[in-house]
Amino acid sequence: MNHLRTPEEHRMIAQTRRVDFIETAGEIGALLLESQMIKAQSPLFNQRLRRIRSLCSIRLSATKEGFVPEIVSNKSVKLGETPELYGLFSSPHAASSKLKTLAQEHQLCLSALGLEKTSQRGCFGLQIKSCLGACVGKEDRRTHDQRLHAALMDSQVQIWPFAGPVDVVEESNGWVQRHRVHNWCYLGTQCSKTDDANIHTSAYPQDPEFDLDSYKILVKPIMLGSVRVEAC
């Protein structure tokens, strides 16, 4: 049975000459290793996990009218350390598109969100009845902003919950791998089976660069406490 779905997959298999594998003690180690190797080797057929140098997020700024979303970059805020950031995006355009989608889904005001200039007639959403009228005083701004906060909560960027680096520990039949992580950044793995250690316990980066893929891999198991974590 042919399981290949796309022309790209057919070309990839046609060019394959050898398949190597690296054994890991658990799924987290496999995912972290895959992400690291793709960034290092830039394979032709896998661009999804290549490093994104510039990331954006949404921060709510308080004004006299109410809270207004502001798109901030990783050059102006420290991701993983700055509280009350929402969403991680590859560009300001992607962040703005997310706000427009939330406005539609939660009947938010485009003018109040800073996505449209305020006019006496109200925002475009009011005209098509997808806005409840915060732009013209028909809806209390505090009520609008409560709905905005609720809409963003699911995408809140989690703060690194430890004072420094930790080891995420995975074990398989007595074989232990310790994956060192700091501020959601993968630093390397120590393996008991081979005595290999590609982490330097006394010289890890003091301010490691936030990595989106490591964050996605680690945030749920760490925040839910479903993985063993030990202080270094």
Do the domain assignments include residue 42? no
> Do 148 and 74 lie in a common domain?
yes
Per-residue pLDDT band at 111 (split at 50, 70, 90): very high
Residue labelled with tokens 């661009």? 47
User: What is the dihedral sign for C-alpha 53, 59, 156, 147?
Assistant: negative
- Quote the pLDDT of residue 137: 92
> Do 206 and 120 lie in a common domain?
no
> Do 142 and 179 lie in a common domain?
no
Do the domain assignments include residue 14? no
- The residue out of 126, 153, 180 marking a domain boundary is 153
Do the domain assignments include residue 22? no
The span from the CA of 68 to the CA of 94, in Å, is 17
Structural domain boundaries enclosing 202: 166-231
Per-residue pLDDT band at 146 (split at 50, 70, 90): very high
For 125, counting Cβ atoms within 10 Å of its Cβ (0-12 exposed, 13-18 middle, 19+ buried), the class is: buried
Per-residue pLDDT band at 140 (split at 50, 70, 90): very high
Do the domain assignments include residue 18? no
> Do 189 and 219 lie in a common domain?
yes
- Quote the pLDDT of residue 200: 43
Do the domain assignments include residue 138? yes
CB 135 within 8 Å of CB 114: no
Model confidence at 23: pLDDT above 60:
yes
Do the domain assignments include residue 9? no
Greater pLDDT, 72 or 121 = 72
The span from the CA of 167 to the CA of 84, in Å, is 26
- The residue out of 125, 153, 181 marking a domain boundary is 153
> Do 178 and 127 lie in a common domain?
no
Q: Which amino acid is at 211?
A: D
> Do 114 and 171 lie in a common domain?
no
The span from the CA of 130 to the CA of 140, in Å, is 16
CB 208 within 8 Å of CB 187: yes
Mean confidence (pLDDT) of the chain: 86
> Do 129 and 216 lie in a common domain?
no
> Do 201 and 142 lie in a common domain?
no
> Do 172 and 126 lie in a common domain?
no
- Quote the pLDDT of residue 11: 74
> Do 64 and 95 lie in a common domain?
yes
CA 113, 89, 46: angle at the middle one, nearest 5?
Answer: 155
User: What domain count does the chain have?
Assistant: 2
Do the domain assignments include residue 185? yes
- The residue out of 128, 153, 178 marking a domain boundary is 153
> Do 142 and 208 lie in a common domain?
no
pTM for the model: 0.83
> Do 170 and 217 lie in a common domain?
yes
Helix (H) / strand (E) containing 180? strand 175-182
- Quote the pLDDT of residue 222: 97
Per-residue pLDDT band at 202 (split at 50, 70, 90): very low
Write the CA distances from 84 to 23, 159, 170, integer angstroms: 38, 9, 31
What backbone phi and psi angles, to 5 degrees, belong to 183?
Answer: 50, 45
Model confidence at 214: pLDDT above 80:
yes
How many other CB atoms are found less than 10 A from the CB of residue 156?
A: 15
The span from the CA of 92 to the CA of 232, in Å, is 37
Do the domain assignments include residue 75? yes
CB 182 within 8 Å of CB 165: yes
Model confidence at 203: pLDDT above 50:
no
